């Protein structure tokens, strides 16, 4: 299959690599240079997004935010003028559910199918093809593209029609953020009380409080390893989408708002590029105490 891939950052590059490795013709474009490891593996570098769209049956987008997706699709140099009947756009970015449905409606006028398929699992999941992929699509379109998803992820779920994948992703990001905050508070309490937080983490890993966040990000908090797997600024963006969607539905998300304020405090301190587990630093500032491995 001829597949286009636009957006080759921390996540996009290894995801595209999985498609190349599995024998697809993959046409590549990124605002920064197409990574050499992809072209040396057989990927085909293009000069712009329109060239990708002119070559591929299916075009995958993996971009930072809603305006980036809108620009690629409908901007001055957008691919809308290049697209033709029967092509499929798969947006694997994390963007606004409301905008997703608007984009799909505009593309439907050209008989172009649209799929929203945001992911969870971070850089490690992208490199190991173990991503969780949350899909919004008509059933017939999903059946067409599901084999592609299975090359990039292990847990592929059609959540519902167009936009449902993005709703699922913001729900995921709420759960992740609130778990990071809970783990941070727990380890901070232990440390302030004079108890070794690494031992507390070890004990809790065997009980009902066990989670991936406690396992992975709890260790990051203790060892102060905040090099990004998923940056604070990206999680801020996702929580903004969650809160904006909630406002449109007349829904209150009080703890999501608190988590966002903690991320905002980290960003104000210059930590927006650190891993989202560094949310604990905002809690530490409030406590005037650091979680530390004894």
Tens of pLDDT, residue by residue over 191-204, are 999 999 999 999 99
The CA R_g of the chain, rounded to the nearest whole Å, is 20
Phi, psi of 158 (to 5 degrees): -80, 110
169 is catalytic: yes
The Cα 106–Cα 180 span in angstroms is 38
The Cα 163–Cα 276 span in angstroms is 25
Tens of pLDDT, residue by residue over 130-161, are 999 999 999 999 999 999 999 999 999 999 99
Q: pLDDT tens per residue, the chain (294 residues)?
A: 999 999 999 899 999 999 999 999 999 999 988 999 999 999 999 999 999 999 999 999 999 999 999 999 999 989 999 999 999 999 999 999 999 999 999 999 999 999 999 999 888 899 999 999 999 999 999 999 999 999 999 999 999 999 999 999 999 999 999 999 999 999 999 999 999 999 999 999 999 999 999 999 999 999 999 998 889 999 999 999 999 999 999 999 999 999 999 999 999 999 999 999 999 999 999 999 999 855
What is the pLDDT, as a whole number, of residue 293? 58
Q: Tokens in use for 150?
A: 């299975």
**Which one, of 168, 50, 172, 47, lies nearest residue 122 by Cα?**
172
Choosing from 21, 110, 169, 192, which is the catalytic residue? 169
């Amino acid at each position: 299959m001829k597949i286009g891939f636009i957006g080759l950052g921390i996540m996009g590059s290894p995801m595209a690599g999985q498609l190349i490795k599995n024998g697809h013709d993959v046409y590549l474009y990124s605002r920064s240079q197409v990574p050499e490891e992809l072209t040396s593996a057989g990927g085909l570098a293009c000069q712009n997004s329109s060239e990708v769209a002119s070559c591929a049956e299916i075009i995958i987008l993996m971009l930072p935010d809603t305006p980036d997706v809108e620009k690629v699709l409908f901007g001055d140099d957008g691919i809308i003028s290049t697209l033709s009947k029967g092509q499929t756009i798969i947006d694997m970015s994390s963007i606004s559910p409301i905008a997703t449905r608007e984009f799909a409606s505009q593309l439907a006028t050209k008989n172009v199918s649209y799929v929203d398929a945001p992911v969870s699992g971070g850089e490690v999941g992208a490199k190991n093809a173990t991503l969780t992929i949350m899909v919004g699509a008509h059933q017939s379109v999903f059946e067409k593209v599901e084999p592609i998803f299975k090359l990039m992820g292990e847990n592929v779920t059609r959540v519902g029609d167009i936009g449902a994948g993005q709703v699922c992703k913001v729900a995921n990001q709420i759960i992740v953020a609130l778990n990071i905050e809970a783990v941070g508070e727990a380890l901070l309490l232990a440390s302030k009380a004079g108890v070794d937080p690494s031992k507390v983490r070890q004990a809790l890993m065997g009980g009902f409080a066990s989670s991936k966040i406690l396992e992975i990000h709890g260790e990051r908090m203790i060892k102060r390893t905040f090099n990004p797997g998923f940056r604070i600024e990206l999680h801020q963006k996702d929580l903004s989408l969650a809160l904006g969607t909630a406002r449109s539905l007349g829904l209150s998300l009080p703890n999501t708002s608190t988590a966002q304020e903690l991320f905002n405090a980290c960003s104000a301190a210059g930590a927006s590029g650190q891993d989202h587990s560094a949310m604990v630093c905002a809690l530490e500032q409030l406590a005037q105490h650091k979680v530390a491995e004894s």
